[in-house]
Amino acid sequence: MLAELEQYVLRRKKEINAVILAHFYQLPEIQDIADFVGDSLQLAIQAASTQAQVIVFCGVNFMAESAKILNPDKTVLLPDIRAGCPMADMVGAEALRKKKAEYPGAVVVCYVNSSAEVKAESDICCTSSNALNVVRSIPEDRTVIFVPDKNLGAYIQSQTGREMMLWEGYCPIHHALSWAEVEKQKELHPQAQVVVHPECPPEVTRRADAVRSTAGILEYLRSSNGAEFIIGTEEGFLYTLQKNCPGKKLYLARESFHCPDMKYITLEKLAGSLERMEQQVEVPPEISRRARRSLERMIEIKG
């Protein structure tokens, strides 16, 4: 059954001139059939440069919205519209406008894990790959409002010494990781290095051996002489890491590191979306125009 679905997806993709983009946290069969697998910054760059007429985004809603914003004249499909992001829901456009009114002249840096409406209210977006460089690009005399991830914001502060107004948002999956859980894994694997995502809380990031985006974790493991690693990010990423670093032993930082939203899209749903051209993503033109500026500024600043 899976083989038949794979064959259909590949055939249908050619018929409609589609490209399939998938995040590192997606199911293995989705990663395997995608044209490109990456982190948020890599996927945004791919979406901005693709020549395909149809972009099928295997990720969550804010990623598909970003692809549509960068390609307003193309069709963008999200095979399961339930795939959302709890952190993105923690900041709304109206609340952000009120905060901006409190700090006139402030620069709003918006983590890409946010809605199109919030991106439209922001000056520049960032991902965990380039957040440090984005913040460093802002003049020291400007107040920075950082939304919505307080953990990523706190990590940036620790690396730059820059004071920022941090929104009270977070990724529930990464935020749940405690250093006590990491220590349990360290007891089991004392030689392992701890490599975590900056969405993890400060008690974890300040003790880890390395703090990296997903793409950064992959690069760290590839270049490291270490043989064992405790990985502090969503479990789906282990599939990519094991494929690319077959000689290394990998352990999750906690027993359950599972994002249900990243697992909604299956091969069957992908095939159905391509067949019926369903689950199309739309962004109102005015919001799209304003949000695009923030995304394009993000893409200009490399990680």
What type of residue sits at position 68?
A: K
> Tens digit of pLDDT for each residue in 172-211?
999 999 999 999 999 999 999 999 999 999 999 999 999 9
Mean pLDDT along residues 122-140:
96
Distances (CA, A) of 284 to 56, 65, 72, 280: 19, 10, 10, 13
Q: What is the pLDDT of residue 41?
A: 83
Task: Please determine, for residue 101, whether its predicted confidence score (pLDDT) is greater than 80.
Answer: yes
Mean pLDDT along residues 133-161:
97
Task: Please determine, for residue 80, whether its predicted confidence score (pLDDT) is greater than 70.
Answer: yes
What angle in degrees, to the nearest 10, is found between the helix axes of 285-300 and 40-49?
110
Q: Spell out the SS3 assignment of 106-162.
A: CEEEEECCCCHHHHHCCCEEECCCCHHHHHHCCCCCCCEEEECEHHHHHHHHHHHCC
Whether the CB-CB separation of 8 and 271 falls below 8 Å is answered with yes
Q: pTM of this prediction?
A: 0.95
Contact partners, residue 176, CB within 8 Å, separation at least 6: 254
CA 122-128-134 angle, to 5 degrees, is 50
Cα Rg for the chain, rounded, in angstroms? 19
Q: What is the pLDDT of residue 303?
A: 62
Query: Which residue reads 């064959």 in tokens?
Result: 7
Q: Look at 2-11, 123-132, 157-166 and tell me which has the smallest mean pLDDT.
A: 2-11
> What's the CA gap between 32 and 291, in Å, rounded?
31
> Tens digit of pLDDT for each residue in 112-124?
999 999 999 999 9
Percent of the chain residues topping a pLDDT of 90: 96
Q: What is the pLDDT of residue 3?
A: 85
Structure tokens at 271: 């095939």
Mean pLDDT along residues 248-254:
97
Residue 176: CA count within 13 A, CB half-sphere: 13
Task: Please determine, for residue 250, whether its predicted confidence score (pLDDT) is greater than 70.
Answer: yes
Structure tokens at 70: 């960068």
Whether the CB-CB separation of 136 and 124 falls below 8 Å is answered with no
Whether the CB-CB separation of 44 and 57 falls below 8 Å is answered with no
Query: Which residue reads 């249900």 in tokens?
Result: 260
Q: What is the pLDDT of residue 9?
A: 96
Task: Please determine, for residue 1, whether its predicted confidence score (pLDDT) is greater than 80.
Answer: no
pLDDT band, very low/low/confident/very high, at 65 (cuts 50, 70, 90):
very high
Whole-number average pLDDT of the chain: 96
Q: Determine the distance from the C-alpha atom of residue 297 to the mean position of all C-alpha atoms in its chain, rounded to a whole number.
A: 17
pLDDT band, very low/low/confident/very high, at 302 (cuts 50, 70, 90):
confident
> What's the CA gap between 100 and 97, in Å, rounded?
5
